[in-house]
Amino acid sequence: MEQEQHRPYFFFSYARRDYEAEDAFVNQFFNDLRDELGRLVGTGVRVEELAYRDTEQLRLGDDWADQLAMMLGRSRTMIALYSPAYFTSLYCGKEWTAFRGRVRRHHEDAGELISALIPVLWEPVVPGDLADEVNKIQWAQPDMGEAYARYGLRALLRTAQSEAYEQVVRVVAERVRDAAARRLGELPEFDLGAVRGYFPPPAAPEPVSAPGMVRLFIAAGRASEPAVAEGGSRAGGWYGAKPWHWAPYHPPTHPSLAARAQQVITAAGHTTTLEEVEGGLGGRLDQAREDSQVSILLVDPWVAGAERYRSALREYDDQNHPVTGVMVPAGSADPADGPERDALWAGVRDVFRRNWLRRSDLEHLFRVKVSRESFDSDLTIMVTVAQNKLMDDNLDWGDDGGDAFGFGPGSPVMPGLSIPAGPPGPRQGPPARPDPGPGRRELPHQSRGKDNAVPLRGDQDDDH
């Protein structure tokens, strides 16, 4: 029984601004849900075993971030109280991402998908403003009622629609009971402050003050090649007579990935050229850098290890090209799992043996398994990073190198999932970052203020 006391049926994740604005309503929903769940699971479960909420269960002297992380790793389900405030909260984003990662890890390890992350629509949100990962999870169903789906649970409470409200509470409580009955794997100890949340989203890139040249290099299959013809749509997308006809995402929003990339780069204020990856690639990249140009390699994972490209790509991998980015898309028809998928990405890893370790780094210059949804933003950020590093080449910034401009320890992190597998090391505060100076662009993902530090509970800068 002692162990079960540390595994509440649900973790209550909410935005502090919603609580402060309508504390009576947030409290009412939390209490009503807990009471209804208690009725469903029986009288043998104590109240404190039903739910975890920080305002009720944090004690004097507790490290609130450590407590939240521990309960996120142990609670059987999580209730996420969706609202505009929720999706602009840094720590709500960390909680959501950490728990989502826990569900995914269980699926990968046990082969069992448990719908343990349970959204509740508190106030209406715009799906188009949310991360793709958030939109994958359904937050309404027919028996919750049309009024709830349109206006959210807060509106039902404010307008005293008690019958509709009670129906939603029953549905949510049943979902919690059913998901909690299936044993979700626990998450090892982790540092919540180090989790890179899916929200709030990065700011849009700022317009450039002067255009730059971006050289695009393509390594992709041709329709006439036997391996492509035999593989069909499973062999990395749709091909034509030339490598730049390659279209891994379908239905395509542009004639090819190369055309789409050129449009993204042009929209960011740059000019671009298009070339095929060939022997002597390293020298061409060096020359581009000497000419104050950045380079982007678009690589088809299905042909990365083919004879035509292998030596050139390994030449790139063996050398240092700090103003060159690499994007390896995951095509719409690529296998999502199984031996074929594993073999595909193992081949890419074999070609990019050194750079594979950079696939999740902060510089954003080597990205694999790039989805259709993230391609445009990933490419825009990659070009921005490369342009800023090119500017560093041409200016003497002193001994601090890139660390002062967001490329070293303590720098901002990219949105996405990153949960340490083991206990965190000693915490270090981020170093002060000086003004980047005239002409230098701030990256879309760079944060301001205290976003990198773990705020004290109740701090004005913590909008959880």
Range with the lowest mean pLDDT among 125-139, 272-286, 420-434?
A: 420-434
> What are the tokens at 181?
């009955």
- pTM above threshold 0.75: no
Burial of 209 (0-12, 13-18, 19+ CB in 10 A): exposed
- Asked whether residue 325 carries a pLDDT value surpassing 80, the answer given is yes
pLDDT score for 353: 92
pLDDT score for 61: 42
- Asked whether residue 416 carries a pLDDT value surpassing 80, the answer given is no
Range with the lowest mean pLDDT among 19-23, 35-39, 316-320?
A: 19-23
- Report how far residue 308's alpha carbon sits from residue 429's, in angstroms, rounded to the nearest whole number: 47
Quick one: pLDDT band at residue 175, thresholds 50, 70, 90?
Answer: very high
| Average pLDDT for the chain | 79
- Asked whether residue 19 carries a pLDDT value surpassing 60, the answer given is yes
pLDDT score for 458: 32
pLDDT score for 339: 85
- Asked whether residue 463 carries a pLDDT value surpassing 80, the answer given is no
pLDDT score for 56: 55
More confident call, 48 vs 169: 169
DSSP β-ladder status, 324-329 and 51-52:
unpaired
- Asked whether residue 253 carries a pLDDT value surpassing 70, the answer given is no
- Asked whether residue 283 carries a pLDDT value surpassing 80, the answer given is yes
Per-residue HEC secondary structure of 106-138 comes to: HHHHHCCCCCCEEEEECCCCCHHHCCHHHHCCC
- Report how far residue 369's alpha carbon sits from residue 15's, in angstroms, rounded to the nearest whole number: 32
pLDDT score for 371: 87
Range with the lowest mean pLDDT among 122-126, 131-135, 230-234, 300-304?
A: 230-234
CA angle at 248 for the pair 244 and 251, rounded to the nearest 5° = 110
> What are the tokens at 346?
């193992």
Quick one: pLDDT band at residue 124, thresholds 50, 70, 90?
Answer: very high
> What are the tokens at 341?
């998928």
Render pLDDT for 128-171 as a digit per residue (tens, 0 to 9).
Answer: 888 888 999 998 899 999 999 999 999 999 999 999 999 999 99
- Asked whether residue 269 carries a pLDDT value surpassing 70, the answer given is yes
Range with the lowest mean pLDDT among 95-109, 250-264, 394-408?
A: 394-408
pLDDT score for 99: 96
- Asked whether residue 5 carries a pLDDT value surpassing 60, the answer given is no
Closest CA to 29 of 4, 53, 65: 53
- Report how far residue 252's alpha carbon sits from residue 247's, in angstroms, rounded to the nearest whole number: 7
More confident call, 408 vs 298: 298
- Asked whether residue 233 carries a pLDDT value surpassing 60, the answer given is no
- Give the mean pLDDT of 176-185: 95
Range with the lowest mean pLDDT among 105-114, 250-259, 379-388?
A: 250-259
